[in-house]
C-alpha cells in the first residue's frame, strides 16, 4: 500500500510563532491531499483540500491566512500554522488521495501533535 510520511510528529512552539508541517507521499504521486484537525475526543475535521499546482480549498470557518497550505509538487504538501496561539494546539493529520487504489485510496500520515505555549 501507499505510504504517507508526516513530519514532525510532535512540536511545541511559542505563541506568535509559525510552524510548518510536512506531508509527503513516498510511493505514488498524490494530486490531492487533505488536511484534518482532531481535538481530544472529537472526530477528524477537514480543514482544507490541497490540489497540486493550485490554491487549496478551505472548509467553512477555517482561516486561510492562518493555515497556509502549499502543494508545490505531486509528492509534498505543507501546512503552516502562522502566528500560532494556544487554541491552535491540536492533532493535525494529512491524507493523500490515490484514486487508482479506490476504495482504499486514502492514506493517512501519522499525525502531528502541536502544542502552543
Partner 1 sequence: QKEVEQDPGPLSVPEGAIVSLNCTYSNSAFQYFMWYRQYSRKGPELLMYTYSSGNKEDGRFTAQVDKSSKYISLFIRDSQPSDSATYLCAFQRGGSQGNLIFGKGTKLSVKP
Please report which helix (H) or strand (E) contains residue 91, including its range: strand 90-97
The nearest distance, CB 111 to partner 1, in angstroms, is 5
Q: Which is nearer to partner 1, 80 or 106 (CB)?
A: 106
Q: Which is nearer to partner 1, 16 or 27 (CB)?
A: 27
Binding site residues, partner 1, CB under 8 A: 4, 6, 32, 34, 41-44, 46, 49, 51, 91, 93, 95, 97, 99, 102-104, 106, 108-111, 113
Residues whose CB is less than 8 angstroms from the CB of residue 86 and which lie 6 or more positions away in sequence, other chains included = 15, 116, 117
Q: Which is nearer to partner 1, 10 or 16 (CB)?
A: 10
Amino acid at each position: 500500500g501507499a505510504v504517507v510520511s508526516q513530519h514532525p510528529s510532535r512540536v511545541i512552539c511559542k505563541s506568535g510563532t509559525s510552524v510548518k508541517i510536512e506531508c509527503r507521499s513516498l510511493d505514488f504521486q498524490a494530486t490531492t491531499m487533505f488536511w484534518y484537525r482532531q481535538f481530544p475526543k472529537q472526530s477528524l475535521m477537514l480543514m482544507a483540500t490541497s490540489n497540486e499546482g493550485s490554491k487549496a480549498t478551505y472548509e467553512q470557518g477555517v482561516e486561510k491566512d492562518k493555515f497556509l497550505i502549499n502543494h508545490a509538487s505531486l509528492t509534498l504538501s505543507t501546512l503552516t500554522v502562522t502566528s500560532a496561539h494556544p487554541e491552535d494546539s491540536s492533532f493535525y493529520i494529512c491524507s493523500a488521495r490515490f484514486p487508482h487504489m479506490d476504495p482504499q485510496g486514502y492514506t493517512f500520515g501519522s499525525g502531528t501533535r502541536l502544542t502552543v505555549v
